[in-house]
Structure 1
Amino acid sequence: MAKLELDEAATAQRYLEREWIPNRFDLRDAWLPVAHGHEVDESVARRQVQSEPCYLWRVKGRLRASKRRPDGPVRANIRDDGSHDYPVLERYGYVWVWYGDPEHASDTLVPDVPYLPYDGGLPPYMHGTVRFDCCSALLIENLLDLTHADFLHADVLGDERADEDRIEVQYTSETVTMIRTCKNKTVAPIMRWFGGVRSRFQDVRAVIHVHVRSSVALAYGRYTPGVDLKLFHPCVSESRDRCRLNFAINSTSAPVPLRFLMPKTPYIVGPQDNVMVGPQSGRYAEAAGRRDLFSRFDGAGARYRFLLQQIAKRQDAGDFSYAADANPGRDVRALLGMPA
């Protein structure tokens, strides 16, 4: 995996100032986690992907997904030829649909989420849904700047005070990863109040790992002293200005009451994020003539935009393949900093 140096970030940024056309990206041939598994039963549930309907249900426990709602009793197929069906599977407690050419669907292309049980089974209270008034790309850019939490979510995750704050960005042709390492950072209030952490400061290694084509983000934080934060943020684009985040937080190793309170935090930080990204949505959708100022903290976002463009251009030319370095299912435990 390559490192993103500052001069490379500047090159990517200059390219984007000329070429960036927000919201035109409708990347295909990707698995999208459109619903929590426990939300889908034999009744028909409706979701939306890129302004297109996606209907989900089960037939004798078997998942089905289609662009068309079944008429009358739910059947195994919408039509005899199944031409409106999505390939569908269940993993990590999510229902994943293949958005693209069904002949290209392969379960090896499902992103690896190593801190969620492979076959699901997290308690329902560790799952939830937050909606945002923006497209998925804008929400992903927000998530990719880990430093924004110091100012927007300080009441939950702590402020910007730290003796040392280092940023590293890594990427492949399909993923972007921002790693932030802090020494003696202000302790996260939620851990001080509910996690039994008595220290005023803690060391933090926070990682956000984004799969560009699927618009899913893995967030993993190691807090010492403290507990690991394990969040899964699938940002499903419902339309050009609406995004659905069906999150999961694995807090099984946290002490009580933090174990039960951590899954509630997205309902605090989500609206805080939406206050910021919602008003930006209109400007994000329009090409701007002025230069976009950036710092080293924006390197991950610049690379993300660059990769969006590169994948979109290849797909416009009819190439929907994954490059050799793009293995969504590869083991990312070491990258995230998970204990061996």
Structure 2
Amino acid sequence: MANTAFDEGATGQRALERDWMPNRFVLRDAWQPIAHVRDVGENVVCRHVHSEPCYLWRAKGHLHACRRHPDRAGIRRGSPDCASAPAIENDYPVLERYGYVWVWFGDPPRAHASLVPDVPYLPLDGNLPAYMHGTVRFDCCSGLLIENLLDLTHADFLHAGVLGDEHADEDRIEVIYTSETVTMIRNCVNKSVAPIMRWFGGVRAKYQDVRAVIHVHVRSSVALAYGRYSPGIDLQLFHPCIPESRDRCRLNFTLNSRSVSFPLRYLMPLTPYVVGPQDNVMVGPQSGRYAQPSSRLDLFSRFDSAGARYRHLVQRIAQRQRAGDFAYAADAQPGRDVRELLGMRG
């Protein structure tokens, strides 16, 4: 069952905060959506996960992912089955879902399709227009970007010109978590209308009620963002924060705007190119300090509790994996239906 409050004592929590240092241990046994399906064809493309290269290509329609370039590994790319290739032991398990190429970062025998995170607002076959996909890069590790996303209130100050300022008659925060996920839910009453909806979405009211959710899968570093704006639209954004290296993160986003009217349908998928650089201005300079150990205790408000929980779960999963336990607990199966959690309509 998901929890809604910290269950550790104050001493244990302070110890976790003191011990925090990202990238000390890489979490494994997770599906990583490292590329949009449309970007992978017969020509080899390279992506990185935790500084490890992954070469992607198709051979007669079959998708392949390998740690070595297929030409150098002796793999015949023209063959639909590279099982006889001499370097097959370097292959990653790979599959396609929601318009992404997912590779299994971990022990191949433990890869199972049921462990792909559920993204209910994206079609399984990924059949969305190309303008709803894009890529933004960040000069920080994925953990720092995840913590930035988990504070939904930062948008009021950093992205006010697109999503609206901090004014609200009521602002309630709830944090829900399992052993593998963290979810922040923000409910606002009479919040300032998002400027992009006022300018291009036909929203004439001065205020709107907002329910915003960010749901993070800790191992995969993917975030589901779902916003319900009344009056207004439903914002459906998939944020895979791919950890390319200790100080680089790749965001291959998808913003499903099919249900949004013209012209907002075409403009909303462009917003990550506006808010992404704004975020990078903040997280980039923090990246070096974020990765350094410190004896300072973090003092945080209720708005930061999701980030604190994220750090706690990273450490707990790392501890288990160091001891040889890579299993997913029963409370945190990634493929479970999250429509109700996200507050999806219909």
TM over 0.5: yes
Which range moves more in the overlay, 66-75 or 55-64? 66-75
Q: 1:267: which partner in 2? A: 273
Deviations along 1:201-259, whole A, 9 cap, x unmatched? 00000000000000000000000000000000000001000000000000011110000
1:77 maps onto 2:82 in alignment? yes
Residue 48 of structure 2 aligns with which residue? 48
Distance change (3 Å), C-alpha of 1:136 and 1:63: same
CA contact (8 A) 2:233 2:260 kept: yes
Say whether the 8 Å CA contact 2:183–2:215 is kept in structure 1: yes
Structure 1 vs Structure 2: percent identity of aligned residues?
74
Gapped regions of structure 1 (runs ≥ 5): none
Counterpart position of 1:23: 23
2:305 is equivalent to residue 299 of structure 1: yes
Contact 1:134 1:281 in 2 (8 A): yes
Range 296-305 or range 12-21, more displaced? 12-21
- What CA distance in whole angstroms lies between the structure 1 residues aligned with 2:45 and 2:123? 24
Matched residue SS, 1:149: helix
CA deviation digits over 1:254-290, x for unaligned, max 9?
A: 1100000000000000000000000000000101122
- Assess, with a 3 A threshold, how the Cα gap between structure 1 residues 149 and 215 changes in structure 2: closer, same or farther: same
Aligned to 1:86: 92
CA distance in 2, matches of 1:275, 1:120: 31
CA–CA distance in 1 between the matches of 2:273 and 2:189? 28
Aligned residue in 1 for 2:324? 318
1:156 and 1:189 in contact (8 A); partners too: yes
Residue pairs, 1:1-340, within 5 angstroms: 1-5=1-5, 13-71=13-71, 74=77, 75=79, 76-77=81-82, 79-80=85-86, 82-340=88-346
Q: 1:178-215: per-residue Cα shift (whole Å, max 9, x none)? A: 00000000000000000000000000000000000000
Superposed displacement of residue 5, structure 1: 2.9
CA offset digits 1:85-116 (Å, max 9, x no partner): 00000000000000000000000000000000
Amino acid at match of 1:129: T
Q: Does structure 2 conserve the Cα–Cα contact (< 8 Å) formed by 1:6 and 1:299?
A: no
Relative to the length of structure 2, the TM-score reads 0.95
Q: Is the Cα contact below 8 Å between 1:112 and 1:329 reproduced in 2?
A: yes
Shift of 1:9: 9.2
Letter of the 2:223 partner, please give it: A
Give the Cα separation in 1 of the matches to 2:58 and 2:113.
19
User: RMSD in angstroms over aligned alpha carbons?
Assistant: 1.5
Give me the whole-angstrom Cα distance separating, in 1, the residues matched to 2:112 and 2:33: 15
CA distance in 2, matches of 1:220, 1:120: 18
The one-letter amino acid of 1:295's match is S
Instruction: Give the deviation of 1:339 after TM superposition.
Output: 1.2
- Aligned to 2:89, the other structure's residue is in SS state coil
Deviation at 1:61, TM superposition (A): 1.1
**Following the alignment from structure 1 to structure 2, what is the Cα–Cα distance between the partners of residues 62 and 6?**
46
Q: What is the CA distance between 1:11 and its match in structure 2? A: 6.3
- From the superposition, tell whether residues 161 and 9 of structure 1 become closer, same or farther in structure 2 (CA, over 3 Å): farther
Give, in whole Å, the separation in 2 of the partners of 1:85 and 1:259: 39
Q: CA deviation at 1:2?
A: 3.0
Contact 1:25 1:308 in 2 (8 A): no
**Structure 2 unaligned residues grouped into runs of 5+:** none
